Amino acid sequence: MIAKRGTTRSAGGKLRRSGAAAMEFAICSPLIFLILLGLWEVGRITEVQNVVWNSAREGARDASMGQANLQAVASNLLIYLRVLNRRPSATATRPA
């Protein structure tokens, strides 16, 4: 039987495939990397969406509490967003 290119026979007569694992890794690693990158991006999108929803809720809450000055509401909203920007996660409590 003729051995295919890249294969050799060992002393026991079994075929060895030299470099097969390296080729499989080279083919599969970009796909795995893209899947992981996509998961990372979905997580970031979810975090940003959460921040936007929470900031809108906080702004509406401040406006409904009787603050007639919209500049104060906008200022409180910016403070809320700045505090969230410094924290590692978007699930933060209301700033003092």
Which tens digit of pLDDT belongs to each residue from 31-52? Answer: 999 999 999 999 999 988 998 8
Q: How many of the other CB atoms lie within 10 Å of CB of 40?
A: 10
Which tens digit of pLDDT belongs to each residue from 43-85? Answer: 999 988 998 898 888 888 888 887 668 888 888 888 888 887 7
pTM of the model as a whole: 0.57
User: Is residue 92 domain-resident?
Assistant: no
Residue 42 belongs to domain spanning: 7-86
Comparing C-alpha atoms, which of 94, 84, 92 is closest to residue 59? 94
Q: How many domains is the chain partitioned into structurally?
A: 1
User: Is residue 91 domain-resident?
Assistant: no
Secondary structure of 7-44 as H, E, C letters: EEECCCCCEEECCHHHHHHHHHHHHHHHHHHHHHHHHH
Which pLDDT value is given to residue 76?
83
User: Is residue 76 domain-resident?
Assistant: yes
Which tens digit of pLDDT belongs to each residue from 4-23? Answer: 665 666 666 666 677 888 89
